[in-house]
Amino acid sequence: MDTVVEFFSNYGSEMLYKTWEHLYISVIAALLGIVFAVPLGIILTRIPKVAGFVMGVLGVIQTFPSFAILAFFIPLLGVGKTPAIIALFFYSVLPILRNTYTGVNGVQKSLLEAGRGMGMTGWERIRYVEVPLAIPVIMAGIRLSVVYLIGWATLASFIGGGGLGDYIFSGLNLYQPEFIIAGAVPVTVLALLTDLLLGKVENWVTPKGMKKMRQAA
């Protein structure tokens, strides 16, 4: 117990800062991922021939070891937060993209025909029909990807990106278990809290009619 109190008195403020850094890296990467992957997913539903190819390529990228990707960005972008964010961004894309594509593709064709027949433009169909109906699936992708990113963001410390990974790796290198714990526990807590928060967001953005329908079913 004493060691815990002592650790906090020595490193408390630093730990807070590292947690903030960690969150910052993952959230920015995830936001970039959303901004890129959601529109791309919708576009891909319009060009099914290209969609298979794009998904395939991204699937392959996903299997690259994350270490390799991080290392790969050092000669291109140097070290620091930016290359870390960019590397993580690549990982965030696939789950969001795949879910957006599946969600939008899964909207009943009869609804789209009704929309077209009543005189909706392509944009209006996306805005009023496809996106609202695909929201639960898209949100599931976003949740998954953000939680993954918080875990992977520990690796950012390898290329000088900071975050809670710093503690974990110095703990491993210096064989000081308290540092490992001080890094791992906040990462887990952060991941759980974020998932909880995003669950609330999902509930909030899902159209009311769909929620009622699911309850009735």
Is residue 100 within 8 A of residue 140, CB to CB? The reply is no
CA 69, CA 52: separation in Å to the nearest integer? Answer: 23
Using CB under 8 A as the binding rule, whether residue 65 contacts another protein is answered as no
When the beta carbons of 10 and 121 are compared against another protein, the nearer one is 121
- Which residue in 194, 203, 186 sits closest to 147, CA to CA? 194
Among 7, 55, 58, 132, binds another protein (CB under 8 A): 132
Alpha-carbon distance of 37 to 95, in angstroms, equals 9
Pick 132 or 160: Cβ nearer another protein: 132
Size of the site for another protein (CB under 8 A): 24
Question: Rounded to the nearest whole angstrom, what is the least distance from the CB of residue 145 to another protein in the complex?
Answer: 24
Torsions phi, psi of 160, nearest 5? Answer: 70, 25
Nearer to another protein among residue 6 and residue 124 (C-beta): 124
Q: Give the residue among 102, 92, 99 at the shortest CA–CA distance from 48.
A: 102
Asked whether the beta carbons of 40 and 188 are under 8 A apart, the reply is no
Tell whether residue 10 is a contact of another protein (CB under 8 A).
Answer: no
Provide, rounded to whole angstroms, the least separation between the CB of residue 109 and another protein. Answer: 9
Residue 156 and residue 118 in contact, taking contact as beta carbons nearer than 8 Å: no
Counting Cα atoms < 13 Å in the Cβ hemisphere of 199 gives 7
Nearer to another protein, 200 or 208 (CB): 208
- Of residues 48 and 207, the one with the C-beta less far from another protein: 207
Q: Of the two residues 51 and 129, which places its CB atom closer to another protein in the complex? A: 129
Residue 208 interacts with another protein (CB under 8 A): yes or no = yes
Cβ-proximal residues to 90 (8 Å cutoff; 6+ apart), any chain: 61, 69
Minimum separation from the CB atom of position 42 to another protein (A): 17
Residue 67 beta carbon to another protein: minimum distance, rounded to whole angstroms: 43
Q: Is 76 in a helix, a strand, or coil?
A: helix
Tell me which amino acid residue 114 is: A
Per-residue mark of binding to another protein, 102-131 (x: CB under 8 A): ------x-xx-xxxxxxxxx--x---xx--
Q: How far is the CB of 3 from another protein (least distance, A)?
A: 54
Structure-token pair, residue 114: 């009704």
Residues in touch with another protein (CB under 8 A) = 108, 110-111, 113-121, 124, 128-129, 132-133, 207-210, 212-213, 216
